[in-house]
Structure 1
Amino acid sequence: MKLEELLHIPVFNGTQIVAGSAGLEREVLTVNMMDAPDIITFLKPNELLITTAFHFKDDLPSLLLLIEEMGRQNCSGLGIKTKRFLGTLPSVLIERANELAVPLLELPVEPSLGDIVNKSLSHILDVRTHELHNAMQAHRQFTHDIMKGEGMVKVLVDLSNLLKTPVLLLDPHLRLLAGKPQRQTLTAELDQLMSERCVVLSPPSTFSSFSFLKEERSVLTLFPVYTYQQLHYLGVEAELSPKDRSTILTIEQAANVIAFDLMKEQALNQNRRRIQNEFFGKFINGSFSSADEIISRARELGLPESQRYICAVGQLDGGDKSLSFMQYKSDQDRIADHIVSELRSFPQTIRLFLLDKQYVLLMLLTDEWREVETSFLQGLSRLQDRLQTHNEASLSFGVSSYAQQLIHIPVSYKEASEALYFGGMAGRCRFVELYQPKEVPEILRLIPYAHLKKFYLETFQAFIDETIKDHRLLLQTLSVYLETHCQLAETAKRLYIHRNTVIYRLEKCEELLGRSLKDPEETLRLRLAFRIKALLPEHELRE
C-alpha cells in the first residue's frame, strides 16, 4: 500500500510530514524499527524505517548518509521520534530529503515504536488479506464461468465489469481473439504496430503498458497469459499502476483461468489439425475409394462440394537440415499458428493444411478470381513479411488456377506445386508465383533432346530424301493444311494455288507417309513433329 494511505491509520495520529512529500506515493511492504548504529546495512526496498535516531544525535553526516542510501534503496520513508534525542531535524537533512523525495516523518512521543510497527504491519496484513480474498472470489467466479461452458468470453465480460473498462484477449501476434475494444481503430493500430515491429513481444514479468497518440490518448496494458505452446495477452484499455495490487491480482486470476481454457482449445485444435491434414494427404494422393467418401469427409471439414477453390502451396526457402525431428515439428507448428493468425485478416475464407514440409492454403472462391486476385496476392505478400519479421522464416508460394469443384482440388494442388517448383528453380526467395498453363513448345522442351530428334526423324523419314521431287513443297503444303484445321480452300488461299493442286500434294504426302491424313492420331503426330522442327537447328533435321 502507499505510504500516504498508511499514515491515515490511528497509530500515526500526530505525525508530521517534515520533508519529501513528493515521495508519499512510495509503496510500503514492511515497517521496521531500528536503533542500531549499522542501520544502513539492513535497509530494504519499500521499507518504512522508524527510529529514535539515538546513534545519530551527534553524527549529522551519518544521518545524511542514511537518507541518501534510503533513496538509492527505494525505501518508503524515515520516521524519527525527534522529541527523544534530536530535538529538531537539521535543515540540511530536510533539504536533502526533499531533493531525494524520501519522506521524512516526525513521529509523536506516543505511541511507542513497537506499537507503531505492530499496528502498521497488522494493517498492511489486513489489506493484503482483503486483496487475496477478492482475488479468490474473482478466481471462483471465473472458474465457474469456464466450468459452466460459457467460455473465456464470459470471463472477459465479468472482468470488464469489475474493472469498468474493456478487456481483450489477444493472440501472440496481438490479433483480437475475443472481447470488444472501446475504440474501433484499436485492432488496426495494433496491426500497424506489428507490421512496423514497434512492439517487442517478449514475456513481461508482470505487465506492460503502451499508448497510441491519435486524436485522443489511449493506453493499452498487456498481461501475459502463459500456455505450454504460446504466449497470449490480456489487453486492458486503461493505464494501471503496479501499486494497484488488488486490480492486478484480479486480472492475474482471470489470466490463469483463461490460460487453462486456451490450453484445452490448443489441444482440440491440434487434434482437429491432425484430422484435417490426414484427410488432405489422402485426398491429394488418391487414397479414397470413392468420390462420395471424399465429399462426405470434406463436408465435415467445411469444404462444400459445389464450390470453386484456389490452392496456394508454401514452403520454407532453404531450411536448417540439422534440426531434430521434434524441433522441426515445433517450428512447423509455430509457423502454422502464425499463418492461421494472419489468415484472420484475409477477406476470404481460407483453410490451412500441412502436407510434409508444405503449408497448403485452400481459399473458397465465392467471387470471380479476377476480382479477388489482387487482395489475395497482397495478403500472401503481407504474410511473408510478417513471418520473416517475427519468425525469421522465409516462405515462398505457388498459386494455382481455380478448381471448379471439390474433386478438382488435387489438380490445383499440382499446379500450385509446379509453380512453386519453377519459382525456386529460378533462384528466387520469398516469391509468389502464379501457375501458367504450359504452351506446347514449353512442354516439348521438357523432353530430352535426343528423343525429340528421334521422333521428328521417324515421322518425316520419307520426306528427308533429297531425291524426292518437290519434297519441300509437299512439307509446306502439309504444314499449312494442318494449321488451317484441314481446310482445303483455306490452304489453297494461303499458298496461292488451285484447290486441286492442294488435293494432289496431300495425296502424295499420304503416299509417302503410308497413312491417311483423316486419321486423328496421324494428324496429331504430324502437328507435334512440325512443332519439334521449330525447336531443332536446321542441320539437325537430317541424319
Structure 2
Amino acid sequence: MIVNCGNVNTLPYADKLKLKAGKNGLDRIIKWVHYMENPEYIAWLKGGELILTTCVLMKDVTSELLKLVKDLNSRKAAGLVVNVGPYIHETPKEVIDAANFLGFPIFELPFEVRFIDISQSICKTIFMGKLQQESMNSFMKNIIHGDIPCSEEIINRAVFYGYDPDKVYCTFVIYVDNFTKLVVKNKIWDEEVAFGVMQQISQVIINTMNCYDKNIIRVIENNSIIVMFLVDKANEDMVNSMAQDIVNSMFHKLKHIKISIGIGGFWQRLKDLKYSVNKAEKALKILKIFKSNICSYDEIGIYRLLFQIGKKDGMEIFYHEILGKLIDYDTKNSTKLVETLKTYIDENCNLIKTAKLLFIHKNTLKYRIKRIEEISNCDLKDMHVLLNFDMAFKVKNFITCI
C-alpha cells in the first residue's frame, strides 16, 4: 500500500484525522511521520514527511502556523496534522485559505489521540508496504528474467501477490524517459529520490487504473515500472485508452516526469508473462519511429520481423545495398532524392500530396522520380521495387532504435 494524504485516514488511529484544508493535495505521498514543535528543524526535512504538531511553542498561533505551512510546502512535506486541544482550538481561517491555495493538506486530530499511536500506525504501514513491494519485485523479476519453472508452488506464490490463473492479463512497461536527470544530483545517484519518483508514478498509475476498476500488479525495475492487470478481450480498445489516460494523468499531476508506455500482448499462463514484457519492451524501442509516447507490440507491423532477424550488421548492409547509390548521389550533388523517395512512398505514391509536402512543383517531383529510377536502375511502378525501398527505410529507422 502506498500511503498518501488521501488514504491515510483508513489506517488504525489515523481514522480520527479530519481534513481541514488542501484537498487538492491528497495525492501527496507520505514517506514518514515526524513530530515537530520547533520550526528550525524544517531545514532537515527531505520531502514527503507528514508533520505532527500541538503548536505548544507558538505565541502568535495564526502567523506562526501560517509561516509553518508555507515553509513545509516549500520543503515538499506531505502535510500537517494539528493536534487541537489546549494549545490550539481550531485551525485559523487564514491558514486554511493558504493551505487550500497551495494544495497543502492540513488535518486536525483530537488531543486525546496520542501522537505515538498514529505515527506508529502510519510508519508501520509504510515499512510493510515497502517490504512487500521489494518481495514482489524480486519474485516477479525471477519470473520475467529467469528460467525458473512455473511449478504449483510458484503459481501459488504468484496468487498471493494477486495473480489469478483463470484470468487473462495485459502488460504495460512504463519507462521514465528523464529518470537519470531526475535522480542524479551533482553527479551523484540519489537512491531516496529514485524511490520517491517511482512512488509518485506508481500512485498516478494506481489512481488511473482505479477509474477502470482495475487492480494491478506492479514491478519496479530500474527506470521502468511493469504493470499487469486483468483485461476483457472483448474490450481490447480499452487497453489503449488506459495507457493514454496514464500519460494524460502524468502530464497534469507530475509535469516534470516524462514517460513512455509499451503495451505487450495478452497472456494467461504465468510462464507467458515474460513474453508479454519482452513484447512491451520491443514496442518501447520503436516509439521514436512512431513519434508517440505509447506503442503496442501489435501495432509495430514489419518491425516485429526485424526483431527476429536481430543482426544489425546484416541490416545495415541491406540498407546500403538498396539505397546506397541514391545516398552517394545526394552527398555528391547536395540533392534530396532519398528524402523525396521516402515521402513519395509514405504518401502511397500520390504525386500531388508528395509535391505539397516537399514544397515543390509536381513537374519537379516527376523529374526527381525519373532521376531516382535512372540512378537506381529501377521502375517505381513495380510494387516489388517499392517494397524493397520501403523495407530499407524501415530498416534504417529500426537500426537507430536498437
User: Scaled by the length of structure 1, what TM-score is found?
Assistant: 0.39
Match of 1:292 among 152, 155, 163: 152
Match of 1:362 among 228, 236, 239: 228
Equivalent residue for 1:535?
Answer: 388
Count of residue correspondences: 261
Provide the C-alpha distance between the structure 2 equivalents of 1:409 and 1:419, rounded to a whole number of angstroms.
Answer: 15
The answer to whether the aligner puts 1:435 opposite 2:297 as a matched pair is yes
**Cα 1:382–1:285 shift into 2, 3 Å:** same
Q: CA deviation at 1:425?
A: 5.9
Equivalent residue for 2:90?
Answer: 240
Larger deviation, residues 405-414 vs 275-284: 405-414
Contact kept, 8 Å, 2:175 with 2:225, in 1: the verdict is yes
Q: Which amino acid aligns with 2:168?
A: R
Q: CA deviation at 1:155?
A: 2.5
The answer to whether the aligner puts 1:277 opposite 2:143 as a matched pair is no
SS of corresponding position for 1:403: coil
Provide the C-alpha distance between the structure 1 equivalents of 2:112 and 2:274, rounded to a whole number of angstroms.
Answer: 48
Larger deviation, residues 441-450 vs 350-359: 441-450
Q: CA deviation at 1:355?
A: 1.6
The answer to whether the aligner puts 1:408 opposite 2:261 as a matched pair is no
Contact kept, 8 Å, 1:397 with 1:432, in 2: the verdict is yes
Equivalent residue for 1:380?
Answer: 246
Match of 2:78 among 223, 231, 242: 231
Equivalent residue for 1:86?
Answer: none
Contact kept, 8 Å, 1:313 with 1:398, in 2: the verdict is yes
Higher relative contact order (CA 8 A, sep 6+): 2
Q: What whole-Å deviation, never above 9, does each CA across 1:51-88 have from its counterpart, x for those lacking one?
A: xxxxxxxxxxxxxxxxxxxxxxxxxxxxxxxxxxxxxx
SS of corresponding position for 2:154: helix
Q: CA deviation at 1:283?
A: 0.7
**Cα 1:386–1:203 shift into 2, 3 Å:** farther
Q: What whole-Å deviation, never above 9, does each CA across 1:490-521 have from its counterpart, x for those lacking one?
A: xxxxxxxxxxxxxxxxxxxxxxxxxxxxxxxx
Provide the C-alpha distance between the structure 2 equivalents of 1:259 and 1:168, rounded to a whole number of angstroms.
Answer: 19
Contact kept, 8 Å, 1:335 with 1:387, in 2: the verdict is no
Q: What is the correspondence of 1:32-181 to structure 2 with a 5 Å cutoff?
A: 153=11, 155-157=13-15, 159=16, 173-175=25-27
SS of corresponding position for 1:353: strand
Match of 1:315 among 170, 175, 183: 175
Larger Rg: 1
Match of 2:216 among 334, 345, 350: 350
SS of corresponding position for 2:148: coil
Q: CA deviation at 1:338?
A: 1.9
Contact kept, 8 Å, 2:137 with 2:220, in 1: the verdict is yes
Equivalent residue for 2:63?
Answer: none
User: Scaled by the length of structure 2, what TM-score is found?
Assistant: 0.51
Contact kept, 8 Å, 2:171 with 2:263, in 1: the verdict is yes
SS of corresponding position for 1:368: helix
Match of 1:335 among 190, 193, 197: 197
Contact kept, 8 Å, 1:308 with 1:406, in 2: the verdict is no
**Cα 1:536–1:314 shift into 2, 3 Å:** closer
Q: What is the correspondence of 1:441-456 to structure 2 with a 5 Å cutoff?
A: 443=305, 448-449=314-315
In structure 1, the gaps of 5 or more residues are 1-150, 161-165, 178-200, 208-221, 454-529, 538-543
Q: Which amino acid aligns with 1:155?
A: Y
The answer to whether the aligner puts 1:396 opposite 2:248 as a matched pair is no
Contact kept, 8 Å, 2:262 with 2:282, in 1: the verdict is yes
SS of corresponding position for 1:436: helix
Provide the C-alpha distance between the structure 2 equivalents of 1:333 and 1:365, rounded to a whole number of angstroms.
Answer: 29
SS of corresponding position for 1:404: coil
Contact kept, 8 Å, 1:284 with 1:410, in 2: the verdict is yes
Match of 1:423 among 272, 287, 294: 287
Provide the C-alpha distance between the structure 2 equivalents of 1:441 and 1:325, rounded to a whole number of angstroms.
Answer: 37
SS of corresponding position for 1:351: strand
Contact kept, 8 Å, 1:172 with 1:233, in 2: the verdict is no
**Cα 1:423–1:387 shift into 2, 3 Å:** farther
**Cα 1:155–1:415 shift into 2, 3 Å:** same
Contact kept, 8 Å, 1:172 with 1:230, in 2: the verdict is no
Provide the C-alpha distance between the structure 1 equivalents of 2:231 and 2:387, rounded to a whole number of angstroms.
Answer: 40
Provide the C-alpha distance between the structure 2 equivalents of 1:241 and 1:168, rounded to a whole number of angstroms.
Answer: 8
Contact kept, 8 Å, 2:171 with 2:229, in 1: the verdict is yes
Contact kept, 8 Å, 1:283 with 1:410, in 2: the verdict is yes
Q: CA deviation at 1:313?
A: 0.9
Provide the C-alpha distance between the structure 1 equivalents of 2:82 and 2:238, rounded to a whole number of angstroms.
Answer: 33
Provide the C-alpha distance between the structure 2 equivalents of 1:248 and 1:386, rounded to a whole number of angstroms.
Answer: 29
**Cα 1:288–1:173 shift into 2, 3 Å:** farther
Provide the C-alpha distance between the structure 2 equivalents of 1:364 and 1:399, rounded to a whole number of angstroms.
Answer: 14
Larger deviation, residues 368-377 vs 411-420: 368-377
SS of corresponding position for 1:304: coil
Larger deviation, residues 406-415 vs 290-299: 290-299
Contact kept, 8 Å, 2:171 with 2:226, in 1: the verdict is yes
**Cα 1:250–1:324 shift into 2, 3 Å:** same
Provide the C-alpha distance between the structure 2 equivalents of 1:168 and 1:360, rounded to a whole number of angstroms.
Answer: 36
Q: Which amino acid aligns with 2:192?
A: S
Equivalent residue for 2:399?
Answer: none
Q: CA deviation at 1:332?
A: 2.5
Q: What is the correspondence of 1:149-228 to structure 2 with a 5 Å cutoff?
A: 153=11, 155-157=13-15, 159=16, 173-175=25-27
Contact kept, 8 Å, 1:169 with 1:234, in 2: the verdict is no
Contact kept, 8 Å, 1:311 with 1:400, in 2: the verdict is yes
Equivalent residue for 2:110?
Answer: 250
Q: CA deviation at 1:341?
A: 2.5
In structure 2, the gaps of 5 or more residues are 1-8, 30-47, 55-68, 84-88, 94-106, 320-382, 391-402
The answer to whether the aligner puts 1:301 opposite 2:144 as a matched pair is no
| Identity among equivalent pairs (%) | 14
